[in-house]
Amino acid sequence: MQLVLGGRQLDLRRGLLMGILNATPDSFSDGGDYLQTEKALARAREMAAEGADIIDVGAESTRPGARAVSIEEEKKRLLPVLRGLEPLGLPVSVDTRKPEVAEAALQAGARLLNDVSGLRDERMITLAARYRVPVVVVHSPLDDPAEMMRHARYGDVVSEVKEFLLTQAQRALSAGVPAVILDPGFGFGKKLEHNLELLRRLPELAALGYPLLVGLSRKRSIGELTGVQRPAERVCGSVAAHLQALGRGANILRVHDVAAHREALAVWRAVEE
């Protein structure tokens, strides 16, 4: 299975690393570290050297209870970083829920739309079709991160996630979006028990035939399982969860700790290939 991003062919069967770049003051694990453009670009160069395949840039935290950011503020944080990333030569994705921000990001060189609100706003689909870029469809029970955890109630979480993702993927494809990547949205309105169920039964999502992205990096569930309080120290637990995901059909891992995941991926590939 291949993914074409900005003219590059990426081999999804080998497992790809999407390095996280949060140009925010309040992200749950690295808020404030990369708010200044120079610091963000230095981190992007570091992730490229560590072996990231894609850089995912976001300028609004989506942690449960996060404060919403205006369109202007989000663009102000994001655009200088996106422009500065061009010489790096890696495909860049933009992590945003706002079509206005997404369009400015596409004009500044982003080649993938990562929409954690799951393409609920039709304009996201129209944009991806117009700019001919793939999208990541993320499941969340609600559009608003501030309210999400109050909706962490499911009958069968896997069936509900599957139904939402399939509906949104089909809407996008029939509107002319060139490719769709599915993401169960770990932690988005989901408690530990839901995240574990989704991870265990990931093959059911992989069987839908779309590329699958998994993002468990440093998340609260990893802290709950390992007892590690500080998100930045949840590296081993994150790697373990992501290896489980790869073994169950994940194609792209969204990670903060690129170097650690690159090592783990080397071992996983050597066994698989």
Residues of this chain that bind ligand HH2 (CB under 6 A): 20, 22, 24, 27-29, 58, 61-63, 95, 114, 116, 136, 138, 183, 185-186, 213, 215, 254
CB of 67 to ligand HH2, least distance (A): 11
Q: Is 219 a catalytic residue?
A: yes
State in angstroms the smallest separation of the CB of 249 from ligand HH2.
16
- Minimum gap (Å) between residue 137 Cβ and ligand HH2: 9
Measured from the CB atom, the residue of 28 and 154 that comes closer to ligand HH2 is 28
Name the residue nearer to ligand HH2 (CB basis): 23 or 108: 23
Spatial separation of the C-alpha atoms in residues 215 and 252, rounded to whole Å: 9
**Alpha carbons 82 and 271: distance in angstroms, whole number:** 36
Hey, how many other C-beta atoms are within 10 angstroms of the C-beta on 231? 21
Quickly list DSSP for 130-187. HHT--EEEE--SSS-TTTGGGG---SSHHHHHHHHHHHHHHHHHHTT-S-EEEE--TT
Tell me whether residue 218 or residue 270 sits nearer to ligand HH2 (CB atom). Answer: 218
Q: How far is the CB of 221 from ligand HH2 (least distance, A)?
A: 11
| N-to-C CA span, the chain | 15
Q: CA angle, 158 as apex, 175 and 146 as ends, to 5°?
A: 75
Give min distance, CB of 168 to ligand HH2, in A. Answer: 13
Token pair recorded at residue 138: 């993320």
Residue 49 CB, nearest distance to ligand HH2 (Å)? 20
Out of 162, 190, 220, 254, the active site residue is: 254
Residue that the structure tokens 């962490």 belong to: 152
Q: How deeply is 240 buried, as exposed, middle or buried, from its count of CB atoms within 10 A (0-12, 13-18, 19+)?
A: middle
Pure H helices in 26-155? 37-50, 71-85, 99-107, 122-131
Nearer to ligand HH2, 67 or 123 (CB): 67
Catalytic, out of 219, 220, 234, 248: 219
Q: Which one, 27 or 221, has the nearer CB to ligand HH2?
A: 27
Which pair of tokens denotes residue 186?
């770990």
For tokens 């894609």, what's the residue? Answer: 54
By three-state DSSP, how is residue 189 classified? coil
Distance CA 39, CA 86 (A): 16
Q: For this structure, is 254 an active site residue?
A: yes
Taking the least distance from each CB to ligand HH2, the nearer of 29 and 251 is: 29
Active-site residues, by number, are 219, 254
